Amino acid sequence: MDQRILLVDDEAVILQLYADFLDLNDYPYDAADNVPAALDYLQRREYSLVITDKNMPDSSGGQAGGMEVLRFVREQNPATEVVMITGYADVQTAVEAMKLGAFDYLVKPVSLEKLKQTIDRIGEYQRFLNSADTLQTYRTLLRQVLHHLVNTEQLGSDQLEQVLRTLGTRIDHLFGLQRQYESIIDRQTEILSDIESQLGAFKATLPQDSPHHQWLDDILNQSRQRV
């Protein structure tokens, strides 16, 4: 899936700010200023990421439009990640968003640098060899920590932001190690392909009854077991 982003926010100034930022960084995107428009976009095309405000009108007349978008994405577009943005930060709200499957939770005013880091992190995770498991592990870790915070003490928005930032850094380090491992696997796979090609060319030069055929097959099998 290409990294195309859907922006959803009912505040025109904020929506334009994010749109200008995505234009500046060459991220392909669409923008919706209400929930029905967002759901229409989601029904018509695929997105790698949805960035949505939480507190905006929903279809039931409430102010949890972002949650409605999140639920729709999780039910209809499970490969799409969602970043929830809100001006009202509390641990309970963050836990609710994570339980529904949000990838991350950002508090207004959102630093554009932080937003870029989040977008790039999601793009990196989606390129992993087993991206679905990687993303699910990230969401599970984040949800478990937030659930623990709910059961211990109430945090202010600054403290919550610090906890999320620290946790994100630690998880990035964990998956950075996984990326290094996957890079090794990718390189081994390339080398194995080269070995197979060379062995195939070599075998083609041997007589059909040559005992070296078995020897070459043994080398190939041993190489495959290393990957």
Q: Residue 38 maps to which CATH number?
A: 3.40.50.2300
Distances, alpha carbon 215 to alpha carbons 89, 193, 202, 221, 223, in Å: 65, 18, 12, 10, 13
**Domain match, 46 and 158 both:** yes
pLDDT tens across 36-49, in order? Answer: 999 999 999 999 99
**Domain match, 75 and 175 both:** yes
**Domain match, 96 and 18 both:** yes
d(CA 199, CA 50): 48
Residue 55: phi and psi, rounded to 5, are -95, 90
**Domain match, 128 and 211 both:** no
Alpha-helical segments (H) within the chain: 12-24, 35-44, 65-76, 91-99, 112-125, 131-150, 157-204, 212-225
Confidence tier at 30 by pLDDT (50, 70, 90): very high
226 pLDDT above the threshold of 70 = no
pLDDT tens across 3-21, in order? Answer: 899 999 999 999 999 999 9
**Domain match, 174 and 190 both:** no
Distances, alpha carbon 171 to alpha carbons 17, 98, 125, in Å: 29, 15, 11
217 pLDDT above the threshold of 70 = yes
d(CA 209, CA 10): 75
| Three-class SS state of 110 | coil
**Domain match, 75 and 59 both:** yes
Distances, alpha carbon 65 to alpha carbons 47, 53, 86, 106, 153, in Å: 18, 8, 11, 16, 28
pLDDT tens across 87-142, in order? Answer: 766 667 777 777 788 888 888 888 899 899 889 888 887 776 567 677 777 777 76
In the chain, how many domains are there?
2
Residue 149 has what pLDDT? 64
**Domain match, 210 and 131 both:** no
> What range defines the domain where residue 190 resides?
186-225
Residue 51 has what pLDDT? 96
What is the edge-to-edge ordering of all strands in the sheet holding 49-53? 29-32, 5-8, 49-53, 81-86, 104-107
**Domain match, 201 and 104 both:** no
**Domain match, 137 and 215 both:** no
Asked if 102 and 84 touch (Cβ cutoff 8 Å), the reply is yes
pLDDT tens across 141-165, in order? Answer: 766 666 666 665 565 666 666 766 6
Residue 150 has what pLDDT? 61
Which of these three, 164, 182, 200, is where a domain ends? 182
- How much is the mean pLDDT over the chain? 80
| Three-class SS state of 117 | helix
pTM greater than the 0.85 cutoff: no
**Domain match, 114 and 210 both:** no
78 pLDDT above the threshold of 80 = yes
**Domain match, 190 and 178 both:** no
Residue 99 has what pLDDT? 77
**Domain match, 206 and 166 both:** no
Residue 211 has what pLDDT? 77
